[in-house]
DNA sequence: TTCCTTGCAAACGATTTGCATTGGA
DNA sequence: TCCAATGCAAATCGTTTGCAAGGAA
């Protein structure tokens, strides 16, 4: 985990009067160590010390409200979370159609710029105001192919 | 609903020995009339004659297995379905961060071509074999802004 | 007649919530 | 000290499934 990220989160939470407790640090550490979004259930297994599911859900809700983590809705009704892009950098997702795992991927800057331009252009469509975009690439991961 | 679409579905199901019953026709009609993906719960309200939820779920499962509809996983653990792209054409989604509704949108051909090229290029990354892609544009819809 | 489909109700699994206890600033 | 955070158990909610009845070939 990058100490810089931890410091940024510490400050963000402090500014919002949200406590950065031990349990919340654990969850952040696990998300930071992951190479993609994680569900509450997946996190219990990856935490240094296992926390009750309800605490993980509450922690994720708090961190999401604070803008530190972002939810992604995936297969089987699972909600997976990852650190927000202002902490980890902008990226997209490789979604395995077989096993449902999600992996982060970055795309070339030049293309990213075009994508951004296109997305803001969409704003004209039906009065929609875009705030962000996400490209999901579906396919088969290494393990499932 | 486009009769052509209905005919295509009819044939597809027939070829797979899957019955195209009245209930299934109703669900297809509702999806066809919708301007974006719909969850089972949303469909009950939009059907001509209300069907029990369990039947809708089963119908959606059958249609998905037959390649006629495709699931999208969205907010609050809701799974929304829409007719497959070979029936309606390739498109992307405008997702409202406020109310969670999803609307279809098409992007310029030129950009779509680049997107496709980029996505297949990703294949080199970590042995991932892309089969499709989806661009989700998040923002605020007309009603929520 | 023979399966497939449907309805209803019960079962499931992910997520949420009430409440009493513990912990942090 | 005092309010927020946590653990546990019970409650929700979307979705799935077992089983008996209805429908199409």
Higher pLDDT, B127 or A79: A79
**Which chain B residues contact residue A75 at CB under 8 A?**
73
The answer to whether residue B78 scores a pLDDT higher than 70 is yes
CB distance A140–B131 less than 8 Å? yes
Is the CB of B61 within 7 Å of strand D? yes
State the average pLDDT over residues B10-19: 95
Residue A127 has pLDDT above 80, yes or no: yes
Q: In this structure, is the CB of residue B75 within 7 Å of any atom belonging to strand D?
A: no
- pLDDT band at residue B4 under the 50/70/90 scheme: confident
Report whether B138 contacts B98 (CB < 8 A).
Answer: no
- Please give the Cα distance from A7 to A116 (Å, whole number): 29
Q: Strand D: which nucleotides have any atom within 7 A of a protein Cβ?
A: 4-10, 14-18, 24-25
| DSSP letter (8 states) at residue A127 | G
Cα A70 from chain centre: 5
Which pLDDT score is estimated for B75?
82
Q: Does A99 touch chain B (CB under 8 A)?
A: no
User: So what's the pLDDT on residue B12?
Assistant: 96
Whether any strand D atom is under 7 angstroms from the Cβ of B64: the reply reads no
Q: Give the residue carrying structure tokens 């309606």.
A: B88
Of B47, B64, B57, nearest in space to B12 by CA:
B64
Distance between CA atoms of residues B58 and B46, nearest Å: 17
Provide the CA B52 to C1' D20 distance, Å, integer.
17
pLDDT at residue A26 above 90?
A: yes
pLDDT bracket for residue A2 (50, 70, 90): low
Going by pLDDT thresholds of 50, 70 and 90, the confidence category of residue B3 is confident
Chain A residues with CB inside 8 Å of B108's CB? 118
Give the CA A58 to C1' D10 distance in Å: 17
Is residue A1's pLDDT more than 70?
no
Residues 38-57 of A with CB under 7 A from strand D: 51-52, 54-55
Residue B29 has what pLDDT?
Answer: 96
Q: With a 7 Å cutoff on the CB, does B53 touch strand D?
A: yes
Question: A77 to chain B: nearest residue by CA?
Answer: B77
Q: What is the pLDDT of residues B79-136, one digit of tens each?
A: 999 999 999 999 998 988 877 788 889 888 888 998 888 888 877 776 889 988 999 9
Neighbours of A49 (CB within 10 A): 7
Q: Does residue B74 sit at the A interface (CB-CB below 8 Å)?
A: yes
Residues 6+ apart with CB under 8 A from A85: A70, A91, A132
Reported as a single tens digit per residue, the pLDDT across B24-68 is 999 999 999 998 999 999 999 999 999 999 999 999 999 999 999
Report the run of H or E that residue B79 belongs to, with start and end: strand B78-83
Give the model's pLDDT for residue B1.
59
Mutate to test the interface with B, among A71, A105, A138, A140 (most CBs of B within 10 A): A138
Confidence at residue A100, expressed as pLDDT on a 0 to 100 scale = 76
pTM: 0.87
Of residues B71 and B121, more confidently modeled: B71
């Amino acid at each position: 985990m990058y100490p810089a990220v931890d410091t940024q989160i510490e400050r963000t939470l402090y500014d919002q009067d949200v406590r950065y407790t031990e349990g919340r640090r654990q969850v952040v550490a696990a998300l930071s160590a992951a190479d993609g979004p994680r569900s509450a259930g997946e996190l219990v297994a990856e935490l240094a010390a296992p926390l009750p599911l309800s605490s993980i859900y509450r922690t994720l809700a708090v961190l999401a409200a604070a803008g530190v983590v972002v939810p992604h809705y995936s297969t089987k009704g699972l909600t997976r979370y990852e650190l927000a892009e202002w902490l980890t950098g902008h990226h997209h997702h490789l979604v395995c159609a077989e096993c449902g795992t999600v992996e982060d991927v970055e795309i070339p800057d030049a293309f990213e710029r075009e994508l951004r331009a296109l997305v803001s252009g969409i704003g004209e469509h039906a009065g929609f105001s875009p705030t962000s975009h996400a490209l999901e690439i579906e396919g088969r991961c290494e393990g499932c192919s």
